[in-house]
Structures are given as structure tokens and as C-alpha cells.
Amino acid sequence: MAKNDALLREVVSFFKGNAETIKKQWIKTMQARQLLMGMDVDQVKKEGERILNTYLECLETGDFTAAETYSKEYADRAIQSGIGSQQIIMDMLTLEGILNQLTYDEYGKEAEKWHQVMETWLPTSDTMFGFVSKAFVEGREKIAKQQQEALMELSTPVVRVWDKVLSVPLIGTLDSPRTQLLMEVLLQRIVDTQSRVVIVDISGIPGVDTLVANHLVRTVTATRLLGAECIVTGVSSQIAQTLVHLGVDLSGITTRASMSDGLAMAFEILNLRVVSK
């Protein structure tokens, strides 16, 4: 260990002594690769300084807290300002390339020593690279999830069409996560508005297969447990044919061809009558 410590100190001070060269080289390479576009000179300098300092701190202490902080902060910044994955990856690879060259120039003549020096600094660089990519991917995933959730909420509107009557016009595909959300939103709205009838319109769903039918049955079952009646409308002749061919049993569900038929039935359930003036 003692020998490695000495070597580590030697490598750290070697890199620190060449910090200015490394930074300059880094900026030059990144610019030559047409990365760091849209950043002014100061920002570019700062970026180079940040990555090198973080790396040196991790190398010196063997602790990756700095790398973790840097990665998270950088990933947030990158996602907000639209920095692409290519730059994120090249940031670290460029630094590694420069350090590699520098090490070779200094120690290349003695193979054994050179090998030991590489072993001293390279793993730290790889681990830091791991942190940066992980933070970036996680950041992207987080954003994607938020967008997806926002989109899902938009795509499951529950509308109050009459006192005690709710309507859900479904558009797009009805997959499991969406059914789950629909059910939660719908049931809560039923309780909030004390609605007695729910009209689920499926005319905007392109394909109704066994899975979709199953999701519908689940939604209807849960609605009934609360004490509300569920009417499924928008069952086109094509859907009706498909369902029968698939052998899907919808006999437990009240269905109507159109939304207006559904509304008429809702009025009947509530004992209401529409008359002309």
C-alpha cells in the first residue's frame, strides 16, 4: 500500500503540475470536435476546469462524492440546456485521452512504471465516467416519466356531463398503466361528485382486443363496487365483430352504440326526461 500511496501522490502532482496544459488541450479537442457549441469562452474554460478538478479530487481522496455531486449537477444542467449525450460522453473520454497521452509522453520509455501509473489513475476515470453517464440517463428517464405522466393525465379526461353523470371519452391506446390511472381518477371523481352513472366512450380507441376488453371489465367492476353504473359506448360494428370473434364476454357490461344512446340511458337510470319546450 505504501508504495502505491507514493505512486498516487506522484501521479496527482504530475497531473496538477500539468493542469494548465490539460485544460488547454481539453478545450482545443472539444472545440475541434465541434462540441461545446453555443458556449462562450468563459463557460468552456469553466467546464474544463470543473471536470479536471472533480477528477483530481476523486483520484487524490479515493472518494467519489465529488464525482456524484458533479454528475448530478452537470446532468441537470445538460438536460435543461439541451446538451446532448454525445458531449456528455466526449467530456470524459477527451479528458481520459489527454491524460493517457500525457502519461505516455512522461513514462512511456519505462514499460513497467508506465503500466503502474496507468493502473493508478485509469480506474478512477472509468468510475467517474460511470457516474456521469448514470446521472445523465437517470435525468433523462425522470423527464421522460414526468412527460409520460402528464400526457397520461391529459389523455384520461373525466368530464361531468350532467348532475350525477360522468363521461370518459377515451382516445388512443388503452394499456395497463393508463387503465390503472383511469380507474384511480375515475373512482375518485365518482366519489367526489357522487355521480351515479359513468359513460365510458371507446370510439376513439383504434383497436379493441382481449386485453383492452379485460381492462374495460376491470374498470366497470370497480365502478360498480362503489355503487355507480357504468355504460360503455362507441362500440362500432367492427369492434362488436372483433369482440365476438375473440370470444370476449361483455355480457356483464351495459353497452350502447353511441355516446348519445349512452346519455339517454343515463337519464333513464336517473329517472330524467328530456322534453322540447
Partner 1 sequence: MAEVTIMKIGSILIIPIQTELHNSAAVQVQQDIISNIEQAGVRGLLIDVSKLAVVDSFLGRLIGDTAAMARVMGCQTVVVGLQPEVAITLMELGMHLEGVYTALNTETGLELLNKVIGNRAGEIETEPSAGDEGV
Partner 2 sequence: MKGFKQMEAKSIPSIEIASTEEIVAVRQKVRKLASDMGFGAVDQTRIATAVSELARNIYQYAGKGEVTISSLEGDRRGIQIVCEDSGPGIADIELAMTDGYSTVKSLGLGLPGARRLMDEFEIESEPGKGTRVTITKWL
Q: Quick one: which segment of 59-67, 110-118, 225-233, 248-256 binds partner 2 (CB under 8 A)?
A: 59-67
Cα angle 55, 61, 62 (rounded to 5 degrees) comes to 80
Of 45, 50, 72, 134, the one binding partner 2 (CB under 8 A) is 134
Q: How far apart are CA 219 and CA 222, in angstroms?
A: 5
Does position 123 interact with partner 2 (CB under 8 A)? The reply is yes
The residue within the footprint of partner 1, chosen from 4, 13, 173, 188 (CB under 8 A), is: 188
Q: Which does 130 bind (CB under 5 to 8 A by kind): partner 1, partner 2, none?
A: partner 2
Kindly state whether residue 127 participates in binding partner 2, applying the rule CB under 8 A: yes
Q: Hunting for cell 366512450 — which residue is that?
A: 201
For the bound state, the minimum distance from the C-beta of residue 133 to partner 1, rounded and expressed in Å, comes to 38
276 burial level (CB within 10 Å; 0-12, 13-18, 19+): exposed
- 162 sits near partner 1 (criterion: CB under 8 A): no
Angstrom distance (rounded) from CA 268 to CA 204: 25
142, 134 contact by CB (below 8 A): no
63 belongs to the binding site for partner 2 (CB under 8 A)? yes
Binding to partner 1 by residue 85, rule CB under 8 A? no
Parallel/antiparallel/unpaired status of strands 254-256 and 229-233: parallel
Q: Return the one option of partner 2, partner 1, none that residue 172 interacts with (CB less than 5 to 8 A, by type).
A: none
Does 62 bind partner 2 (CB under 8 A)? Our answer is: yes
222 binds, among partner 1, partner 2, none (CB under 5 to 8 A by kind): partner 1
Q: Does the footprint of partner 1 cover residue 268 (CB under 8 A)?
A: yes
Instruction: Name the residue type at position 64.
Output: F
Do 34 and 75 contact (CB within 8 A), yes or no? no
Interface with partner 1 (CB under 8 A), residue from 52, 187, 216, 232: 187
Measured from the CB atom, the residue of 45 and 134 that comes closer to partner 2 is 134
Instruction: Note the residues at the interface with partner 2 (CB under 8 A).
Output: 62-64, 123, 127, 130, 134, 184
Instruction: Note the residues at the interface with partner 1 (CB under 8 A).
Output: 183-184, 187-188, 190-191, 194-196, 218, 221-222, 224-229, 268-271
